[in-house]
Amino acid sequence: MSEAMEIDLDAFWSLIDQAKEHQGEADEWLKGQLIAQGEERAIVFDVISGVYRGLAHQYGIWCAASVIDESCTTNSGFDSFKTWLVGQGREVYMAALKDPDSLADAPDYRDRQFCSLALAGRGAYDGDSRSFGSYEHVVLEEEVRRSITYGEGIGYPYDWPDIPEYLPRLYAKYYTDEQRRRCTSAAVRINTWNPDNPAIKAARRVAQKGKKGRGREQR
Q: Which residue, of 88, 122, 146, is where some domain finishes?
A: 146
Position 155 in a domain: no
Query: Is 165 found in the same domain as 140?
Result: no
Q: Which of 113, 146, 179 is the last residue of a domain?
A: 146
- pLDDT exceeds 70 at position 189: no
> 203: domain range?
160-218
> What does the alpha-carbon distance between residue 55 and residue 77 come to, in Å, rounded to a whole number?
16
Mind listing the pLDDT tens digit for each residue in 53-66?
999 999 999 999 99
- The model's confidence at residue 3, banded by pLDDT at 50, 70 and 90, is very low
Q: What is the pLDDT of residues 15-46, one digit of tens each?
A: 999 999 998 899 999 999 999 998 888 989 99
In a domain, 152, yes or no: no
Segment 194-211 shows an average pLDDT of: 90
- Cα dihedral angle (56, 100, 79, 197), rounded to 10 degrees? 90
Domain assignment of residue 201, yes or no: yes
Number of domains in the chain: 2
Dist CA 57 CA 205 (whole Å): 18
Residue 154 within any structural domain of the chain? no
Residues 202 and 122 in one domain: no
Compute the average pLDDT of residues 111-127.
89
Same domain, 203 and 130: no
**Which of 85, 111, 146 is the last residue in one of the domains?**
146
- Residue 46, domain member (yes or no): yes
Query: Full-prediction pTM beyond 0.75?
Result: yes
CB 63 within 8 A of CB 174: no
